[in-house]
Structure 1
């Protein structure tokens, strides 16, 4: 039996660190509730590429959480391929240690976090519960955590360029009214 139900592998612990960062100096009162929601199967996740949508039902409330992850840079993917391999093998803790020794950042980095709840913060109980569920899923299949960061996807022929991101929002001052209204 493992001591920690979330993040008992080194791959999964990176996801737990999103909910419990080391730089945090005081206890977060939302963490026990978030762990309880995740432990009691209150989170249903759907992953599509680098985007995870989680539907959380707690009591009479329902929330939808959206987590988008930044892709691993192309040089990291290239350097990680000999360590982890391209075949769908399960990465081990030894592979994680080899990647860390090579200086390869494999920890997930959220690009965008959004929740439909009224808390209006990126660290609401729903987002934290989603991180715990993702930690559990990555503990079961570490390759899933790499796939969420775009490891298994071919970004294209140019190895030197980082993948371009489309902005989620268009600033209003960049829109030309003449394009949308007839004068």
Structure 2
């Protein structure tokens, strides 16, 4: 039996680090509850490319949580294809080989969303989702590369990073024709 319940492989530990960052300055009081939700099968996930959707049942409440991972650079996708010939046979040595080659396979969150009323950036549902994905990645490490976009050559981002547009500036809107109705 592994010592850690979540993240006992290096692939899974990358996902646990999203919930438990090393740079944290104070204890997160939601972590025990999030681990309990994930441990007791309260998280149902659906992976669609770099997007992970989850329905989280806790008591009489249900929440829908979305998590999107930022796309890797195209050069990183090509390098992973060369370094990992068979994604079905990933181990901690493959993780170390990627890190030695300068490729960080750890997920970088692009966007998160939850339907709960907490209105916090890191709610208990998002943390439970991170633990559940860590558990799934521990069982199947290739899932980490699939969610990260490393196994889809078309998913690589351009090598010049662009800031994501989450909002449309008001200056970009055409106010003159906004309320016109078509004939």
TM-score, normalised to structure 1, is: 0.90
The number of residues matched between the two structures is 181
In structure 1, the residue matched to 2:27 is: 27
Once the 2 structures are TM-superposed, how far is the Cα of residue 160 of structure 1 from its aligned partner?
Answer: 6.1
In structure 2, the residue matched to 1:152 is: 151
Q: Contact 2:74–2:153 at 8 Å: present in 1 too?
A: no
**Counterpart-to-counterpart distance in 2, 1:159 and 1:27:** 35
2:45 corresponds to 1:45: yes
Once the 2 structures are TM-superposed, how far is the Cα of residue 170 of structure 1 from its aligned partner?
Answer: 2.7
In structure 1, the residue matched to 2:114 is: 115
Once the 2 structures are TM-superposed, how far is the Cα of residue 25 of structure 1 from its aligned partner?
Answer: 2.3
| Structure 2 portions without partners, runs of 5+ | none
In structure 2, the residue matched to 1:80 is: 80
**Counterpart-to-counterpart distance in 2, 1:152 and 1:139:** 18
In structure 2, the residue matched to 1:70 is: 70
In structure 2, the residue matched to 1:180 is: 178
**Counterpart-to-counterpart distance in 2, 1:53 and 1:165:** 23
In structure 2, the residue matched to 1:132 is: 131
Instruction: Report Cα offsets for 1:118-140 as digits up to 9, x if no partner.
Output: 11112110000000000001111
**Counterpart-to-counterpart distance in 2, 1:130 and 1:81:** 28
**Counterpart-to-counterpart distance in 1, 2:23 and 2:159:** 32
Instruction: Report Cα offsets for 1:27-85 as digits up to 9, x if no partner.
Output: 11100000000000000011111111111111111111110110111111112222212
**Counterpart-to-counterpart distance in 1, 2:132 and 2:15:** 9
Instruction: Report Cα offsets for 1:141-175 as digits up to 9, x if no partner.
Output: 1111111111121228x996468787444334321
**Counterpart-to-counterpart distance in 2, 1:165 and 1:147:** 23
What SS does the aligned partner of 1:111 have?
strand
Structure 1 consecutive aligned stretches of length 4 or more whose deviation exceeds 3 Å? 158-169
Between stretches 48-57 and 147-156, larger displacement belongs to 147-156
**Counterpart-to-counterpart distance in 1, 2:151 and 2:163:** 18
TM-score, normalised to structure 2, is: 0.90
In structure 2, the residue matched to 1:105 is: 104
